[in-house]
Structure 1
Amino acid sequence: MALGSGVIVRPDGIVMTAYHLIKDQPAVQVRLKNGETYDRVVVLGIDERRDVAALRIPAANLQTLNRARVEDAYPGATVYTISNPAGLEWTASSGILSATRQADDVAGAGAGYRLLQFTAPVTHGSSGGALADDQGRLLGIVVGSLGGQNLNFAVPVESVLGLANRVDGLALGSARNLDLRRRGPDSSVAQRTEPPRSPAEIMRSARTICVLGNPEFPPEPWKRCF
């Protein structure tokens, strides 16, 4: 891994990202938009089926996004991605939510979970980034793309929030031995009561996005493309 993305989901330093970014990596740095860089990264939990991991960094009082329910999202709604595509850090892109579908319907994605299909552009480095609705609320974690134009996918964040509820963890590189006990989704989800926000307002959410990288490795293609 040379560069990827992560989303701060709790103020006490909990970050969610795509599991394939950290799998078998001996070390990963996490860098925030304010320039703070963290080398002590602990794996709290992994969900290999959904390709999502929860990490902890030694930080506090971090900004997070409100979260949206998948049930409130509908095909045709405007969505945004905020990630680090091709090393262009904290980039926002827009598109629409195409569908909410079962992974069973997507070639190579596995089975037994939901995916959010969207058209906002993603590329190498976008894995682990945020998919947000038109109010800037977090809908999902970007995990992959299918061959074709703008056939991109994210895992609903409400499906994996239980990973962030662990209080213990293992040093990075030991995730394959993690005893994963997932809990139910966090119930503190913001309701849809506000009007849509402008793209400029959405972009203010970029400070909740992390850069995940290991400077010892050169850039390489995105590891997970459905």
Structure 2
Amino acid sequence: MSLPDYQLEEFLRGRGYTRIAGVDEVGRGPLAGPVMAAAVILDPSDIPDGLNDSKKLSEKRRAALEEQLLDRAQVAVAEASVEEIEQHNILRAAHLAMIRAVAELDPAPDFLLIDGNLIPKGLTLPAQPVIKGDTRSVSIAAASIVAKMHRDRVMVDLAQQHPQYGWARNKGYPTLEHRTALRNLGPTPHHRRSFKPVHNILYQG
């Protein structure tokens, strides 16, 4: 199984771009919590070994790589709130988080590699969408790791306020544990009411 590499970035560097940011989001599937995005500019001479799609790494490995990235790369993280997910939709909220993460990079990037098949509306920088980018580009993989770690910490913190839902373990995804608590206790202010499992509980009967 091949790991993501730096080939897309090398191609862009050959065309004169020097500050290439990988951008990815996490948290589109959960029933609760914000959606999170990260933007990462790697130093081509100092790329941590073992970068990969965050879903393919253990929590321990993600944590170790995040620590290395914070030391050796330029990193920014941003979110879109549950309220924004409800106001827009989950895709637009994810794109808002991406735009905010890119805006936090200082100095700014000169090119963006964005996971997925769309460039978020409102981005003014040159950009290329990359389908399954976290398995192809180390910059996007790095962003997926940082975003995942950051969102997981948010959900662990929220679990202290609402321990019955198991968010420290399921991170808001619709596991049996989470869905059972949702049926028995109802939604919290951190639940996404427009998502079908939450909506059905709110309006059943």
Shorter-chain TM-score above 0.5: no
Structure with the greater alpha carbon radius of gyration: 2
Q: TM-score, normalised by structure 2?
A: 0.23
Which structure's residues are more often helix, by fraction? 2
